[in-house]
Each structure stands twice: as C-alpha cells, then as structure tokens.
Chains A and B, each alone.
Chain A
Amino acid sequence: MWVYAAKRVLYAIPIAIGVSVICFSLVYLAPGDPIQSLIPPDATAEDIETIRRLYGFDKPLVLQYLDWLARALTGDLGISLQSNRPVIDEVTRALGNTLAIAIAAILAAFVLATILGTLAAFNLGRPIDKIATSISTIGVSVPNYWMGIVLVILFAVQWRLLPATGMGGEGSEHFSWLQWDQARYAILPMVTMAMIPLGVVTRSTRSAVADTLSQDYVQLLRAKGLGEMQVVCHALRNALPQMLAVMGLQLGYLIGGSILIETVFNWPGTGLVMSRAILTRDIPLLQGTILVLALSFVAINLIVDLLQTVIDPRIKRA
C-alpha cells in the first residue's frame, strides 16, 4: 500500500512541473501587455518602460519563469499587481472559502445521490426511478447560475429567509458553519453548487448499483438468504470506487470552476479571484491561482486513487 502511495506521489511531481510551465506560459499567450492594467491610458513610452522595469517584466521570459518557479517552491507566488498583496495569501484565503461550500456541497450531493441512485437502481423503470432520474436530469441540465438567481429571488428577496450575498456580516474571517448567523450565508451557494454533483453522482450511482445488481453473485447472496439491506451494502461497496472517482472529479470542478456561482452570490472564493485576475490582467494572481487549483486537482485525484485502492484492492493490482 505504502509503495503504491509513494509511486502515485512520485507520478504527481512531473504533472505538477508540467502544470507550472503551462500555467506560466499560458497567460503570456493572451494578447496585450502584462503591465497595461497598471499604466494610465496617457502614459508616455518612457513611463511604460520605467514601470515595466520596476515590476520586473523587462527580463527575458525564461528568467522570469525560473525566478517565479524558485519562489513558488518556497511558497512565494509573488505579489498581486492590482491589490499589491501576496498572491499566496489571496489564493489560500479564497481556496479556504471555496472549500467551505464545495466540501459541504459535495457531501450533501453524495449522500442524497447515493440514496436516490440506489433507490432508482433497486426500482428500475418504476415511478421512484423516474423521479430520481428527473432530479438527476434537472441537476445536470439547469444552469447553476440561473438556479442561484432564482434561489436568491425566492429566499432572500421575496421571503427574506436567507442572505443574498457575501460570506457573513464581518467577512470570511469570521465565518463558521457552527454559527447559524454565519452559516446561513453559505446555504444558498452550497445548494446551488450541489445541483450538478447531485445529478452526476445520482446517475453514476444508479448505473453502478444496477450493474452490480445484475451480477450473478448478487443472485447467490439472495439465494443464501441475505436480507435486502445486506444486498444493498454489497452492491454499494462494489459501486463505491466508481462513485468516488466521479465525486473526486466533481470536487475538482467545484474548486476551480465555480466562477458563476461565486459571482452570483459574491462568495469570495477561487472563482471570484480568478475572474478578477482575468478581468484585470493580474498575471501573478492568475498564475498563482491556476497553479494552486491545478495542484489541488492533482491532490484530490491522488486521494481518490488511494481511497479506491483501500476500498477495492483489485485496483492496486491492476
């Protein structure tokens, strides 16, 4: 097990280096100058060169990359051009804020999807299967930003039950899921965020459990007189690796791809930071955010891989 884990960690290193090269160079492929958001529209050519030199953008690109990589390895991702704050602080704060709702959303979706998918698989073609499939289809196909706006109109504007935006009256530094006056800010974004994973994991659970139920050994279990709950447990255990893989991917998507939801709810997470970095062409912030998100994605996949081998040792042998 430990050898397998060490191998997987080693495999992640070249991926991380590749990610660093791609994320550093990608942002330079976009048209425009990295300092153009810093210079006033009527800046003279001399001023433009001075500002380029002061920010270090006059050095060759390779030197800039090596310098950036050397600093990144020590946890220094540079300074945001716009806010003038350390990028690592900006990204870790935002990542923590996104994780606060993403993990809650993925757990809620996983629990609900497991119940719905299993019920559907045990009742294929029956009304309960149709209901579960409909919920799954709605989750996958309804645009989540639209869903977010609808929830805000209903719960915040019309009924005033929950707040519309933000992460608490005093900001994210005081946020806690354990205090209702703070936690209530997270409910609408969390529910909105859970919709797609709910749809995807329900489908995947239904299919995996139905597939397991069609295996001969399930007939054998029933023939040996096991109760339905025990059969469910067997079926779920066999379906779990596939469900975990889907869930891991979904968590990765939520961490990096929640720009629209975070914009609708003004939730100060990675999506908002990335959107801000793109719109203001804040290259250090963009590079740092992409790097941290990509490494998070690699880390999540690694954890999922290891969990899968714990649940199903055949994966390790394969």
Chain B
Amino acid sequence: MDDTQVNAQLDQMKNFILQEAQDKANEIKTKATQEFTSEKGRIFQNEKIKIIKEYEKKQKLIEVQKKINLSNELNKSRLSVLKVREECLRDVIKEAQKKLATISDDKDKYQTILKNLIYQGFVKLNENKIQVVGRKEDAGLLEKATTEAAAQYKKNVGKSIDVSVDKERFLPQGPKSDYNGPTCCGGVILSALEGRIICKNTLDSRLEICFDQLTPVIRTQLYGASTSRKFFD
C-alpha cells in the first residue's frame, strides 16, 4: 500500500467518523429542541392557568366589592330620603306653629277657645280648687273665660268650683319676629293642690301632642302609603 492509498483510506475513515458524529450531533440537537419546546409548552400552560386563576380571583373580589358598594349606596340614598322626609315634617310643624301664633289675633274666637280649654282642664283635673295661669296679654280675656267655663262646668257636671287666675306668674309672650326667648301661642296651664297636679293646655303643648300622635297620618298624606309595610293592626 503506498502513501496515497493510505491517505485515501484514512480520509475515508475520517469522513465516516465525522459523519457518525454529525448524525449523533443532529440527534442531540433534535432532542434538545424537543425538550425545549415541551418544557416551554409546559411552563406556558402552567403560567397561563395561573394567570387565568389570578384574574378569576380578582374578578370575584371586584364583584364582592361591587355588591358591598351597591348596598352601601342604597342605604345612603334611603337614609337621605328619610332625612328629607323628616325635614319636610319639621317644616309642617313650623308651618303649624306659625299659624298657631295667629289664632290669638281673632279675639272673639280666641275667647271661645280659651273658655273651652279651661273647661276641658276642669273636667280633666276633677278638683274643687284650681288655679289658672295664662299669658300676660290674655289677662283680660282670661277673667271672662274662667267665669264662663266655671258656669259651664257647674251646669254640666253639677259641681261648683273655686277657680282663681294667677296674677303673679304668667306664661311667656306670643312669638314676635324680633324676640328669641321662650314663647307661647296661647292657652292656659291649670294646676290643683298647690301645683301638684298640672294640666298643660296651652296651644303649643296641644300641637306637640297632636304632632306626636298624628305623625303617621301626616306621613301617609304627604308621601302616600309605605310600600314596604306588610302588617296593619
């Protein structure tokens, strides 16, 4: 075998080895690629699921928050409606008080009212000795009203009554625009047994009682019947 033949054979062997190595290298490359792709796919899938879950959680949280906010707002608006309604009621009282102040202007009518108020007081107290307190400005009218009421009491109930009008103590004066102290729109306070029993029969206290008792009626008149009310006595 001469040199060229040896070289040719060596070359062939070298090529063969190289070829085998190349084949194996390709296989390794393929396996690596495959591993990369599947690993990538796996990680991708995992992360995708993670993100989806995270967003589901967030969405849920937002929905809960939304519900809370909604009920809060609902409550708030309900409260504000109630508040406005309350204010309207107060307006009604104020209106009524203003009208109350004008009652004592019509002397004739007021005279009759006073008489009836005192008479009612007598009946309510059912005592023999009664003192009547009125406003200072009504002192004249009071005297007459008391005697008339006492007469009526005697006529209707059949008992005579010892009644006196208090000359020292008076109810506060009627409301005036430039005056801020306590006021009284009219009426009387009767007392018996040296002030142990008191019957407040002023127009103001009557209005108060009226208001307490008639609030539901007024409310229905103003706003209509409550839709949520289920039970009626």
A and B held together in a complex: no
* Chain B residues near A (Cβ < 8 Å): none
